[in-house]
A = this chain, B = another copy of it.
Amino acid sequence: RYGLAEKEDQVGVVTGLAWTSVGGEILSIEALRLPGKGRMKTTGKLGDVMKESIDAASSYVRSIAPTIGVKPPRFEKWDIHVHVPDGATPKDGPSAGLAMVTAIVSVLTGIPVRKDIAMTGEVTLRGNASAIGGLKEKLLAALRAGVKTVLIPQENEKDLPEIPDNVKEGLEIIPVTHVSEVLKLALVRQPEAVDWDEEAEDAAAAAKALQTGDGPGATAH
């Protein structure tokens, strides 16, 4: 059912690669940003490990928010919904971590994701890409689905010798060590950083509150 990669670059839609008992599969990860209250919703019959990988992806993105142009208080005004169709198939595991980060960054910045790139890799809280299992099956699924480029964790380069030649010829396989490389390759343009200094903001907010409160007393009459 997921044999076709998305047909155009879209915001919040990322092609992940999963490895199931019936072989490799393409996952079309969908994220939405909604006006809200900082909540994360996940659907698609996701197991606990995949849900945790979304939590970790979300915390990582919050930790680098200013570098993608998002001031942290903005998070309290949005909800994010991550859905992985189809809704009836159980999915689990941490290997969609890089794709989750990419989907979340895309909806937060409004920058589309390149449709011809797929990716697999666990992500740590520092944004490091770490090794996944079932590389061969995932690459086969990507090839069948018409994907051109696949990002894999550098830790999985050791598995490349056992990948069939026709797969390695049919796909551009790019090893990555960190989310920053993934975003450079997968987003159609790069987000601009914004200044953010937590203590300065706190001090400014406190000063403003003080001024608003004192103003009338000090200047009126």
Which residues of chain A have a CB within 8 Å of any CB of chain B?
1, 10, 12-13, 28, 30-32, 34-35, 41, 43-45, 48-49, 52-53, 55-56, 59-60, 62-63, 72-73, 75, 77, 81, 83, 85-88, 93-94, 97, 122, 124-126, 130-131, 155, 198, 202, 212-217, 219-221
Contacts and interface: CB of A to CB of B under 8 A. Distances in A.
A74 to B, nearest CB: 10
A53 B87 contact: yes
Given A53-B87, A81-B125, 19 more contacts: A1-B130, A1-B131, A1-B155, A10-B126, A30-B124, A31-B125, A32-B60, A32-B63, A34-B72, A43-B56, A45-B49, A56-B81, A56-B87, A83-B124, A85-B124, A86-B130, A87-B97, A212-B214, A215-B217
Contacts of A28: 124
Nearest to A72: B35
A59 B85 contact: no
A34 B198 CA distance: 10
A55 B34 CA distance: 13
Nearest to A216: B217
Contacts of A75: 35
A55 B43 contact: yes
B94 A86 contact: yes
Nearest to A213: B212
A163 B58 CA distance: 42
A122 B30 CA distance: 14
A45 B216 CA distance: 55
A44 B125 CA distance: 11
A48 B45 contact: yes
Given A34-B72, A72-B34, A86 B52 contact: no
Nearest to A50: B87
Given A32-B125, A35-B73, A130-B86, A81 B59 contact: yes
11 contacts: A28-B124, A32-B125, A35-B75, A41-B55, A43-B52, A49-B87, A56-B83, A56-B87, A85-B124, A88-B122, A220-B220
A41 B53 contact: no
